[in-house]
Amino acid sequence: MSFIRALREAAEEIGPGIVADRRDIHAHPELGYQERRTAAMVAARLRDLGIEVRDGVGTTGVVGVIRGRSPGRTVLLRADMDALPIQEENEVPYASRTPGVMHACGHDAHTAILLGAARLLAERRAEIAGTVKLMFQPAEEGGAGALRMIEEGVLDDPPVDAAFGLHVDADRYVGQVALRAGPAMAAADSFTITITGRGGHAASPHRAVDPIVVGAQMITALQTLVSREVSPTEPAVVTVASLSAGTTDNVIPAVATLRGTVRTFSPEVRQQVEARLREIAQGIAAAMRATAEVSYRTGYPVLHNDPAQVELVRAVVGELLGPEAVVERGPVMGAEDFAFILQRVPGAYLHLGVRNAAWTVPRPVHTATFDLDEAALPIGAAVLTATALAFLAKGPPGHGGGA
């Protein structure tokens, strides 16, 4: 597919515009479901390109629809727009101007990259058979913005046949793209255990039921879920991340609260861990004369990359950047709400290397000093554009191959 290599050059030409967009978004970060400025900028950019725009989808989400010259399949490309509640420590001209809010997960780059892809695709509309949908979503960081947009029809009218998205990868170098077929990112659930005992004088523990001691037993017992109950060949994490109880040093409180996260890769293990977490919490509470109320919240599902679509991306990246650019990625216990899209349509989520070769240590996401090498931005735009065009060029199954 000779159009692919030409895209690399075209993306480099519009690179300065992509970088400018990224810096503008970076300087004005917005938290989940508050991405009004970002969404307005995205909608304006798309309209300037003559792209049909639907805004206010799932609160602040924006959908662009690029209809090709002839009919065909529909492919969706997705970016997320939300920032994190972190105070930026980088001293750069485009540093966050909003105290306590920072694009520390690279969603500014995702949005700018997809705007770059929008431009490349709009310029090639005459060559497109089918439709490209551009999804700019709110609230990836825990707010399930993708699910909200699905509920408001992002996958319908026209129905989406495949979906692709990317995330910056602070461990991989610029020019690398990491892929993994099958289950790639974990399901993420959260829990709160409220332990109720009986408060009392700290010097008379026999007259109280100490919920802190009950909680300590519970934390220890929960460690056995992964070490003694889940198969050693199945990835799983149970972390108690918060323990709160008491106000002073001489009063036994009546209540203690544990909060944490559960990460799993299979539905069976997910159910097993939830069921046993409830039994362990309630069993230990009962044995120690307390009660435990368990609130278990099901979060993002496992992100599943369709092997056929991963192969498509692998071929595209190989042609754009050379076969050595593709690196295999192991499963990670992080979660991603693009998984809601990939639950419904086949597709692939790829990780774009953004580490500068001169950096001796990576600058990890979700930290106050996260940053990326902007040379990765046009590469990302070229990869997404080429992937969409390659998917549509294959045509429907039975009409020249199909994916």
Residues that bind Ni ion (CB under 5 A): 105
Q: Which residue shows structure tokens 């919920």?
A: 211
Please, which residue, 364 or 397, has the CB nearer to Ni ion?
A: 364
- CA-to-CA separations, 256 to 207, 218, 225, 240, 242, in angstroms, rounded: 17, 11, 21, 13, 10
Count how many Cα atoms sit within 13 Å of the Cα of residue 331 in the half-sphere of its side chain: 20
CA dist., res. 297 & res. 142, Å (int) = 12
CB of 54 to Ni ion, least distance (A): 24
Structure tokens at 240: 């108690």
List the catalytic residue out of 30, 141, 336, 374: 374
Kindly report the number of other CB atoms within 10 A of residue 377's CB atom: 28
Please, which residue, 133 or 167, has the CB nearer to Ni ion?
A: 167
CB of 365 to Ni ion, least distance (A): 6
Report the SS3 class of residue 401: coil
CB of 299 to Ni ion, least distance (A): 15
Closest CA to 337 of 182, 147, 179: 147
Q: Let me know: does 351 contact 178? Beta carbons within 8 Å.
A: yes
CA dist., res. 172 & res. 362, Å (int) = 9
Please, which residue, 21 or 108, has the CB nearer to Ni ion?
A: 108
Please, which residue, 107 or 119, has the CB nearer to Ni ion?
A: 107
CB of 149 to Ni ion, least distance (A): 16
300 is an active site residue:
yes
Alpha-carbon dihedral sign for residues 133, 136, 141, 144: negative
CB of 303 to Ni ion, least distance (A): 12
Closest CA to 69 of 159, 4, 129: 129
CB of 276 to Ni ion, least distance (A): 30
CA 215 to chain centre: 32
The DSSP symbol for 198 reads B
Report the SS3 class of residue 328: strand
List the catalytic residue out of 30, 88, 140, 300: 300
311 is an active site residue:
no
CA dist., res. 296 & res. 274, Å (int) = 7
Q: Strand 177-179 vs strand 326-328: parallel, antiparallel, or unpaired?
A: parallel
Please, which residue, 105 or 320, has the CB nearer to Ni ion?
A: 105
Please, which residue, 111 or 131, has the CB nearer to Ni ion?
A: 111
Report the SS3 class of residue 303: strand
Please, which residue, 103 or 119, has the CB nearer to Ni ion?
A: 103
Which residue's Cβ has the minimum distance to Ni ion?
A: 105
Active-site annotation, residues: 300, 374
